[in-house]
Amino acid sequence: MHCRPFDNLGYAMGFAGSTYGSSSSVRGAYSRFTVDTPREYHCNLGPDGRRRDANERPELCKGAVEFVASKEYMVRDPMPAVYFFLIDASMNAVQTGATAAACSAINQVISDLPEGPRTLVGIATFDSTIQFYNLKRALQQPLMLIVPDIQDVYTPLETDVIVQLSECRQHLELLLENIPTMFQSSTTVESCFGAAIKAAYLAMKSSGGKLLVFQSVMPSVGIGALSSREAEGRTHIIAGEKEAHKLLLPADKILKTMATEFAEYQVCVDVFITTQTYVDIASISVIPRTTGGQVYYYYPFSVVSDPAKLYNDLRWNITRPQGFEAVMRVRCSQGIQVQDYSGNFCKRIPTDIDLPGIDCDKCILVTLEHDDKLQDSFECAFQCALLYTTVYGQRRIRVTNLSLPCTNMLSNLFRSADLDTQFACLLKRAAIEIPTSPLVQVREQVTNLCINILFSYRKFCATVSSSGQLILPEALKLLPLYTLALIKSTGLRNDGRIDERSFWFNYVSSLSTPLAVPLVYPRMFAIHNLNPKEGDESFLPPTIPLSSEHVSDDGIYLLENGEDALIYFGSSVDSNILQQLFGFTSVEEGPTQFVIQQFDNPLSNKFNDVVNVVRRQRCSYLRMELCKKGEASGMRFFSCMVEDKNASGPSYVEFLVHIHRQIQMKMS
C-alpha cells in the first residue's frame, strides 16, 4: 500500500502552535510551503497576539495531537489486525526444545490478541518444506497443507490459512499443543527460512500484518539459502584483517529485495532466534530492519531459562502500544532541514519513511542539517507527522510539535544538553559505521567526537583556569565514562562472535533512548546485603561503579543491561545467604542458567522484589546467568567492569588522561 504524504494536512500540519489567524492563506510556522486552510478556521488575534481560540484547539496548544484521518488519506480500508506465526520445526529446533517453547509461548499469548472480528491469525511450520494449516471451524481438526517447492513458493488455499481468531481458536490451540509431537521424530536438518517467509508473505499480501518467525538454525535450502561465514570471520579477526567488518553485511541481496517487497505491502516481520549455533544474523536481520520489525536473540538457547523470556518478549511484542501501515515525515522551520533518518524502516522517497509496524519501543534517529543563519532569541520549530492504523482499525495522524529557542551562546547549549539523548545519538552513529568500517576506525571516531565536544566547551565556555585541569560541562560530565563503555562494548570489541556483533548493532539501530546507557554501562547492585526492612516493593538498592575494586570475594552482585542479567558470586560467599537466596549452600552447586525462585524468607522476598522492579522498568524478563570466579562466566562478568583496564581498552582514569592530553594539544 502506498500512503499519501502529509502535504495537505491543512491546519493539522501547517499551523500547530501558529499565531497566525487573520488570513486563510498564510505561511505555516513549521513549513516553508504556503497552505490553504478552510475559511471556518479563521480566527481573530487577541491582545497578546495569539489566536483567541488557541487554548481550545489541541493542535495549537499541545505538543502531541492525534487526528482521525479522513478518506483522502486512505487508498484502501484500514487493514485488519493480522498475526501470522511461522515456526521452525527442523530436527535441531525440536531436539533443543525451541519448537515446543515457541508453541507454548504462542498458545499463552492468544488470549492477549485484540478481540473482535478484525483479528485474523495464521500459522505454518517449516523445515526443508513448508507446512501450512487450514484452521477453518468446519473441519474436525486442522488440516496440514504442504508446500514442497521452496524455489518458486506459493500459498495453498489463501482464504483458509488466515482466518478470524474467534472462528479458529480451538483448532489453533489444539495444533500448538500437537506440533512438537508431530515433528519429534523428524530427521530433517535443513531450514528453508527464506522460502517460508516468502510463502507467509504471499498469504498476507492482500492485507498486511505482523509476521512472527521463530528460527533456530541457519537457512540452508531454498530461496535465500546461506552458508556459514563464522569460520571466515574468526580467521579475519585473528589475522587482524580490515575485511572482517564486511561479514556484518548481508551475504547477498536476495533477502533485502524480499524485505523491500514485504514493506511495500505492509508486512512487518519480527524474528525470534532460538539457537545454539551460528545463523548469520547479519543476513537474516535485514528483513525485520527493513519492515519495522525486530530481532530477538536467545543464545545459547536454554530450555530451562529461555521459554519464560521468550513468552514475555512475545507477549510484550503484541500487547505494547503499536500501529500498522505507517508513514512518517519530519519537518523543520527555515534554516534547518532533515539530512537523514536511521532506524528500522523502509525508505522509498527522500522525505518520508515507511513503517509497516511501529511501536512504543522503536526509536528513529533524525539527523538535522543547519543550512542557514538562525537569529538569536527566535525559535526553531520541528514537527513529526505519523499516519498509521491502530490495532482496532482506525486510521490516525499523530502530530508531534517541538519549538526550541535559538541562542548564539555556546554555554547555553552545553548547560541544556541532555546526556542520555546525546549518548543515544553517539551510540547509533557508531552502530551505523560498524558494518562498513574497521572497528579500530569506529573506536577512533567515537573517541574523537567525545574529545571535540569537550574541547569546544573548554575553549569557548570554560572560565580561565590552569591548562593542567580537565574541565567538563556539568550536564555532560559522564560523557567520557559512557564513551569508554561504548568502546569496550560487544559491538566494538574484536573478540566478539560475528552473530553477537550483528545482533548488537541491529538491536542498537532501533533502541530507545532510556535503554542506550544501560546497554553499554549496565547497572550493578550488591544483593548480599539487601535490607528486607528498607523501602517498599519498588525500592532499588544503590548502584555500584563498574570497577573490580567494588566487587568483594564475599559478595553477590546483580548486573543488568536491560536485556540480560548476570549474577556474580565471590569465592567466599556466606553459605547461609546462598541458601536463603538460591536454595544451595555452595557456589559449586549452582547451575549456570536458572530461573529465580522465591523462598520463604525476607531476603529472598526482597531480592525478587528488586528483580521484578528491574524487569518492569525494562519491559523484559531478563535472562539470568550465574557467574563464578575463575570460570568463563566469571570472566564475562569482569569484562563488564568497564572502568578497569583490560584487553578491550584503558581504565577510566587512563582514558580521562588521554582525553585531557588531546584537549591540551588542540588548545596549544
- What is the pTM (predicted TM-score) of this model? 0.90
Whether the CB-CB separation of 516 and 420 falls below 8 Å is answered with: yes
Q: Which of 490, 546, 495, 556 is nearest to 521 (CA)?
A: 546
Question: What residue segments make up the domains of the chain, in order of their start?
Answer: 11-62+323-408, 81-319, 413-515+649-667, 522-639
Task: Give the CA diameter of the chain.
Answer: 85
The answer to whether the Cα torsion of 383, 389, 392, 393 is positive or negative is positive
Q: What is the pLDDT of residues 549-597, one digit of tens each?
A: 999 999 999 999 999 999 999 989 999 999 999 988 888 877 766 788 9
CATH number, domain 413-515+649-667: 1.20.120.730
- Could you give the strand order of the β-sheet that contains 623-628, starting from the edge strand earlier in sequence? 523-526, 556-560, 564-569, 623-628
CATH number, domain 11-62+323-408: 2.60.40.1670
Task: Give the HSE-up count for residue 131: Cα atoms under 13 Å, Cβ half-sphere.
Answer: 16
Instruction: Give residue 515's pLDDT band: very low, low, confident or very high (50, 70, 90).
Output: very high
Instruction: Give residue 49's pLDDT band: very low, low, confident or very high (50, 70, 90).
Output: confident
Taking residue 570's Cβ as centre, other Cβ atoms within 10 Å add up to: 18
Q: Which of 447, 271, 307, 401 is nearest to 11 (CA)?
A: 401
Cα angle 110-114-117, degrees, rounded to a multiple of 5: 105
Q: What local confidence, expressed as pLDDT, does residue 160 receive?
A: 80
644: cell is 578497569
Single-letter amino acid, residue 376: D
Q: What local confidence, expressed as pLDDT, does residue 232 receive?
A: 58
Mean local confidence (pLDDT), 614-626: 91
Instruction: Give residue 141's pLDDT band: very low, low, confident or very high (50, 70, 90).
Output: confident
Q: What local confidence, expressed as pLDDT, does residue 537 receive?
A: 67
Place of cell 516553508: 32
**For residues 447 and 102, what is the distance between their CA atoms, to the nearest angstrom?**
42
Share of the chain above pLDDT 70, in %: 91
Q: What local confidence, expressed as pLDDT, does residue 372 receive?
A: 82
CATH number, domain 81-319: 3.40.50.410
**For residues 298 and 591, what is the distance between their CA atoms, to the nearest angstrom?**
18
Of 542 and 76, the structure prediction assigns the larger pLDDT to 542
Q: What local confidence, expressed as pLDDT, does residue 465 receive?
A: 67
Total H helices, total E strands in the chain: 22, 21
Instruction: Give residue 1's pLDDT band: very low, low, confident or very high (50, 70, 90).
Output: very low
The set of residues, in sequence order, having a beta carbon less than 8 Å from that of 668 and lying 6+ positions away, is: none
Q: Which of 170, 283, 155 is nearest to 230 (CA)?
A: 283
Q: How far apart are the first and last CA of the chain?
A: 59
Mean local confidence (pLDDT), 190-207: 96
Q: What local confidence, expressed as pLDDT, does residue 31 receive?
A: 38
pLDDT at 227 over 80: yes
Q: What is the pLDDT of residues 423-439, one digit of tens each?
A: 999 999 999 999 999 99
pLDDT at 165 over 90: yes
The DSSP code sequence of 434-449 is TTTS-HHHHHHHHHHH
Q: What local confidence, expressed as pLDDT, does residue 21 receive?
A: 31
CATH number, domain 522-639: 3.40.20.10
Q: What is the pLDDT of residues 252-306, one digit of tens each?
A: 999 999 999 999 999 999 999 999 999 999 999 999 999 999 999 999 999 998 9
Which helix (H) or strand (E) is 342 found in, with range? strand 336-342
What does the chain come to in residues? Answer: 668
Q: What is the pLDDT of residues 77-125, one digit of tens each?
A: 899 999 999 999 999 999 999 999 999 999 999 999 998 899 999 999 9
Of 323 and 234, the structure prediction assigns the larger pLDDT to 323
Q: Which of 309, 344, 351 is nearest to 330 (CA)?
A: 351
75: cell is 487508498
The pair phi, psi for residue 543, each rounded to 5°, is: -80, 155
Query: Can you list the alpha helix ranges (DSSP code H) found in 58-122?
Result: 58-61, 91-95, 98-109
Q: What is the pLDDT of residues 464-486, one digit of tens each?
A: 666 678 889 999 999 999 999 99
Strand, helix or coil for residue 378 = coil
Which helix (H) or strand (E) is 282 found in, with range? helix 281-284
Q: What local confidence, expressed as pLDDT, does residue 545 receive?
A: 97
Place of cell 484502501: 76
The pair phi, psi for residue 429, each rounded to 5°, is: -65, -40
**Eight-state DSSP code of residue 598:** -
